[in-house]
Amino acid sequence: MSISFSASTRAIAATLALGAACVAQAAAGGACAARSPDGRQALVELYTSEGCSSCPPADDWLARLASHRAALRIVPLALHVDYWDGLGWTDRFAQHRFTERQRALASRGGGSFVYTPEVAVAGRELRNWRDADAFERRVVATAAEPARVGIALSAARRADALDVDLSVTPRAGAPRAVVAYLALYENGIESQVRAGENRGATLHHERVVRQWIGPLASKASAAAPLDVQRRLPLPAGLRAQDAARYGIAAFVEDPATGDVLQALDLPLCG
């Protein structure tokens, strides 16, 4: 599947130029930082598994999508579920919490059936995600909405760990209660599958979530800022040139509806 760019999508890219410059400037000082824009950025969740023969094309789709994430104003993440693990191949990236999150997504939609590959945009299932026009319509519509929360995110590497600071600020129309999540993702992964439906295949993965923190909630009963500091372990002995494979994503969700109100991406920069 190819990804096409309409005039509206290209226009969105221009609005991100300032934010990208801010990240680059922060990186020069030895730490990374980013702030969310005034409009919403769509969290794109791909529920996938190395044990599923239908998933490699979806993984490739997400990888192509990720290379255009600024233009599309999206934050893509690959969440590997574990319910395929008993069918011949154990996915080393699978986490049960992602299966639980996918089941909650299905329940909010009035169902109980989960499947792979599945795509959710801004907290809502998008069944026709393979249709480039349908996908673009969803993300463009999301980006056109004013964000009801703002996110500021910074990260600094300390030996084999990453110190992350997250700040969430309510804006006009924010729900009384929100929850935030942090995800450490990894790019450029190759995996040799030796059993199951993809036996003999070499799979290529991008944006794979390796660590997941949340839900994080403010203790206040009404809409209030949320400030979080976390230290995330990195692989021991990670070389500087390999650190660029990692990044942090943050997003804020309305726990009552599951809507993702805002999302932010921060590639690791040293």
Contact 225, 166 (CB under 8 A): no
In a domain, 1, yes or no: no
Please give the angle made by the CA atoms of 249, 254 and 256, to the nearest 5 degrees. Answer: 145
pTM for the structure as a whole: 0.89
CB 138 within 8 A of CB 249: no
Q: What is the pLDDT of residues 143-189, one digit of tens each?
A: 999 999 999 999 998 888 999 999 999 999 999 999 999 999 999 99
238 φ, ψ to 5°? Answer: -60, 125
Domain membership flag for residue 224: yes
Give the number of domains in the chain: 1
Instruction: Tell whether 108 is covered by a domain.
Output: yes
Residue 145 lies inside a defined structural domain of this protein: yes
Instruction: Identify the domain containing residue 257 by its residue range.
Output: 7-267
Domain assignment present for residue 227? The answer is yes
Does residue 2 fall inside a structural domain?
no
pLDDT at 220: 64
CB 214 within 8 A of CB 69: no
Lowest mean pLDDT among 51-65, 213-227, 244-258: 213-227
